[in-house]
Amino acid sequence: MTVTGTRNAPDVVDVVALGESMVTFLPARPGRLADVPAFHRSIGGAESNVACALAAAGHTTRWVSRVGADGFGDHLVEAIGAYGVDVSYVRRDPSRPTGVYFRTAGDRADDTHEVAYYRAGSAASAMSPTEVDLEAARAGRVLHLSGITAALSPDCLDLMRELTAPRPGRPLVSFDVNHRPGLWGEGQDPDVLLELARGADIVFVGEDEARQAWGLHGARAVREALPEPEIVVVKQGKGGAVAFAKDTDGPCEDADGTATFVRALHVDVVAAVGAGDAFAAGFLSSTLRGLPVRDRLRHGHLAAAATLTTPGDLAPPPSRTLADRLAALDDPAWGRLRLGPGWTDADAEAAEEARTP
């Protein structure tokens, strides 16, 4: 085994994201995998998507993982590093491959959507408390994790339990449930995701996945099952998202002052893949900035809208100036917003027009 980069004590960054990334093959045209004649290479990984989006938004980030000592591993490290993410603590494994997957162009929630994973026995599935640099993983203001990692192997689950366990001086732990039924094999219990979520400080979960994984119905039931985290964000698809916070400072939905709801934006969707990761990045970015809960939700929706209006998993986020201006709109104006492809370039285009005689 070799290690990419330095082994000196890690610098503290804004956000560390730990998890598997894979080389993704996107179809050249819509259709069944059996019918698609060619694919375009890209990168995919819930945690690295968050790290890349946050780096693009101006934050310092690190990705901690393992990849194979192969060309696909080279591509992942180079491509993620090109976003400005610190990849110096990614370990290379000469005996295990880098994971890859193929998917169709449709929405993951669509019945016609297909994904073919080739990740069993991957280098990342060997992550464990001894096979990643725990000091580097904890050297961030926020440590972002995903439930996907817990499903990869028993060693990965041990690592997740280690990182979500209470300990003095640990970073703020962000956990996106990311329940993927296809990853949970026979004898594996997705209830472990509930256990891990209860050890986090910020939790992101879709109302639909909470119902599927845990049999919980409604946002309030999710919060009742997760009383420990400081903030639980329940995403409600096209309806919006509600954040249950122990110390909320935004307009509240409940008389007890714990729930803040923000409706989703009207978006002309190009592709839905990656929107959840972008939402988490937008929410975490504004958390690092100390913004109110309502604004964190709005920045999450805006970051998701940037990804929804582009074909890939990753999209350039709106400028901070543009995002802050839109997030500050009053409720009627927010409700009237409709965003389509190219909307994140609006400020740049306007600035260029102003500079042109």
The residues assigned a catalytic role are: 277
**R_g over Cα of the chain:** 20
* CB distance 290 to 21 below 8 Å: no
- The DSSP output letter for 61 is E
Using DSSP bridges, classify how beta strands 13-18 and 2-3 pair: parallel, antiparallel or unpaired.
unpaired
By CB neighbour count within 10 A (0-12 exposed, 13-18 middle, 19+ buried), where does 63 fall? buried
| Cα distances (angstroms) measured from residue 99 to each of 44, 67, 87, 205 | 10, 8, 17, 25
Angle at CA 66, nearest 5°, toward 61 and 72?
A: 95
**Largest distance between two CA atoms of the chain:** 68
What secondary structure does DSSP assign to 7-23, as a single string?
-SPPPPEEEEEES--EE
User: What 8-state DSSP symbol labels residue 182?
Assistant: G
Q: How many other β-carbons are positioned within 10 Å of the β-carbon of residue 100?
A: 17
